[in-house]
Structure 1
Amino acid sequence: MQTVGDNPPRPHPLFGGALSTVIPSSSTDISTLRDIPDNQEVFAHAHTDQSIIVELLEYQAQVADQDAARYHFEDIAGSNKALEPGAFQVTNIIPLPKSELSLSQCISGWMLTGAQSVSKFNEEARNTVTIHLGLFRLPQFSTDILVTFNDPQSIDVESSSASSVSGTHTEPWTVQDFQTLLQSLTLHDPGLFG
């Protein structure tokens, strides 16, 4: 099992090196374990049920920049079957100052914090997950880059995730780790976008 980030933080190549970012320590590149869609890079914490997904999505021109993070969050809620009342909520949306971002090509960056009640693998058991979402808008490449940090807050004992969490001896990822990832995201090859 390949882990990344066990040494001091250094940029990790994404999408064949077209992008890079600092991935938090104790992470496993999920593509070494199973097939991942070509538009995604997925990392999981080695000892908790936390995960990070970097995703290249079609730019949503009909959505205003300040509303785009919520748009993608609600899309994720739909994928997680968490759209019923009370199953998801947005607690905060803030702009990411461009002066603090390495991804200078984005016209705007946003960070959303929210929560969803989700089940894994269509199970009945539902887990409460805090979702931190970073969004970078690149209309010149017809792309929205979405970075999602899934941070479970409570895991149902009937969930398949219950047996995989052994986080007593390992530090979980923090919001600061996620912010470092967002700030260090760098584009090296615009050919990535076609």
Structure 2
Amino acid sequence: MDTQTVDGSTDPFPLFGGALTAFIPHSATDVSDLREIPDNQEVFTHAHTDQSLIVELVEYQGHVADHDAARFHFEDIAGSNKASEPSACEVTSVVPLPKSDLSLSDCSSAWMLTGTQCVSKFNEEAKNTVTLHLGVFRLPQFSTDILITFNDPQSISPGSSSATPTGTHGEPWTVQDFQRLLQTLTLRIPGLFG
């Protein structure tokens, strides 16, 4: 099976059948070409590093104040990653994203969180330290929060399956690449949300 990378294009990448678009960083492989991905997610991995990007549509959390939404979703991800104990996850910053800098003007607010989580890959014993950058777009009118997660491993345990050399000739993604994705996320088809 041929896997397609999405780099080199000057056009935004179609997400969810083109209902959303955004600029995806260079050297990205669409994971749906490799395995089944849930319908509410688009997942990309870097072709030469262990970095990944996830664009996810989740239920709008109306009981959570806008300024707490990123922390709420970060803690939910930590629970899914089995990294919810205090020593395994930490939020280092949460900042609002000015709507004037965003293509997705339909959101009521947008936030970017940076934190770390100690997670294992494929339920292994070995834990890797990952910097997690999380963008949250709040869309109460569609009962949806859009999460964009950039997983950027900082230290890989020798016992992790990620410790095997994955190639070092590719330029890793940067926070600037992630911010460009956040700024260029555009809603093309509101029917995406039902």
Same fold (TM over 0.5): yes
Q: Is the deviation greater in 156-165 or in 59-68?
A: 156-165
Deviation at 1:186, TM superposition (A): 0.1
1:66-97: per-residue Cα shift (whole Å, max 9, x none)?
A: 00000000000000000112100000000000
Contact in 2 for aligned 1:49/1:151 (Cα 8 Å)? yes
Aligned partner of 2:23 in structure 1 is 22
Paired residue total: 192
Contact in 2 for aligned 1:47/1:164 (Cα 8 Å)? no
Q: How does 1:175-190 map to 2 (within 5 A)?
A: 175-190=175-190
- TM-score, normalised to structure 2, is 0.97
Aligned partner of 1:155 in structure 2 is 156
Cα distance in 1 for partners of 2:11, 2:24 equals: 8
Cα distance in 1 for partners of 2:10, 2:132 equals: 23
**2:8 aligned with 1:3:** no
Contact in 2 for aligned 1:9/1:23 (Cα 8 Å)? no
Cα distance in 2 for partners of 1:24, 1:119 equals: 25
1:86-122: per-residue Cα shift (whole Å, max 9, x none)?
A: 1000000000000000001000000000000000111
- TM-score, normalised to structure 1, is 0.97
Cα distance in 1 for partners of 2:63, 2:118 equals: 28
Contact in 2 for aligned 1:114/1:131 (Cα 8 Å)? yes
Q: Give structure 1 stretches of 5+ with no counterpart.
A: none
Deviation at 1:60, TM superposition (A): 0.2
Deviation at 1:164, TM superposition (A): 5.1
Cα distance in 1 for partners of 2:10, 2:191 equals: 26
Q: How does 1:61-140 map to 2 (within 5 A)?
A: 61-140=62-141
Contact in 2 for aligned 1:9/1:24 (Cα 8 Å)? no
3-state DSSP class of the match of 2:118? strand
3-state DSSP class of the match of 2:141? helix
Cα distance in 2 for partners of 1:140, 1:183 equals: 20
Q: Which runs of 4+ in 1 moved over 6 A?
A: none
3-state DSSP class of the match of 1:41? strand
Aligned partner of 1:39 in structure 2 is 40
CA RMSD between the two structures: 0.8
Q: Give structure 2 stretches of 5+ with no counterpart.
A: none
Cα distance in 2 for partners of 1:9, 1:137 equals: 27
3-state DSSP class of the match of 2:154? strand
Cα distance in 2 for partners of 1:164, 1:56 equals: 32
Letter in 2 for 1:103: L
Deviation at 1:165, TM superposition (A): 2.8
